[in-house]
Amino acid sequence: MIETHDTEPLPSEQVRAYLDSLPRKPPIWERDVADVRLDMRREALASSGEPEQVATVEPAQAGGVPARLYRPAGGERDVFVWMHGGAWLGGDLDSYDAVLRALANRAGCAVLSVDYRLAPEHRYPAAVEDCWSATTWALERFDRVAVGGDSAGGNLAAAVALRARDGGMQLALQLLVYPVLDHWVDSPFYQDFTKRYAHFAGVDGVGADDQAGMRYIWQVYVPDSMRRSERDASPLRAASFVDVAPTLLITAEHDILRGESEAYAQRLAADEVPVELVNYEGQIHGFFEMLGVMDDSRHAVALAASALKRAFRTESSGDVGK
Q: Which of 255, 261, 296, 297 is catalytic?
A: 255
d(CA 299, CA 261): 19
Q: Which of 84, 183, 254, 285 is catalytic?
A: 285
d(CA 293, CA 272): 37
Does the annotation mark 151 as catalytic?
yes
**CA atoms within 13 A of residue 128's CA, in its CB half-sphere:** 19
Does the annotation mark 285 as catalytic?
yes
In contact, 188 and 195? CB cutoff 8 Å: no
Q: Which of 151, 234, 261, 297 is catalytic?
A: 151
209: how many CB neighbours lie within 10 A of its CB? 17
Secondary structure letter of residue 110 according to DSSP:
E
In contact, 278 and 251? CB cutoff 8 Å: yes
Does the annotation mark 255 as catalytic?
yes
Secondary structure letter of residue 246 according to DSSP:
P
Longest Cα–Cα distance of the chain, Å, equals: 53
Q: Report the DSSP pairing between strands 110-114 and 199-200.
A: unpaired
Secondary structure letter of residue 100 according to DSSP:
H
Ramachandran area for residue 226 (φ above 0: left; ψ -120 to 50: alpha; else beta): alpha
Identify residue 196 by its one-letter amino acid code.
Answer: R
d(CA 19, CA 201): 8
d(CA 196, CA 288): 23
The catalytic residue positions are: 151, 255, 285
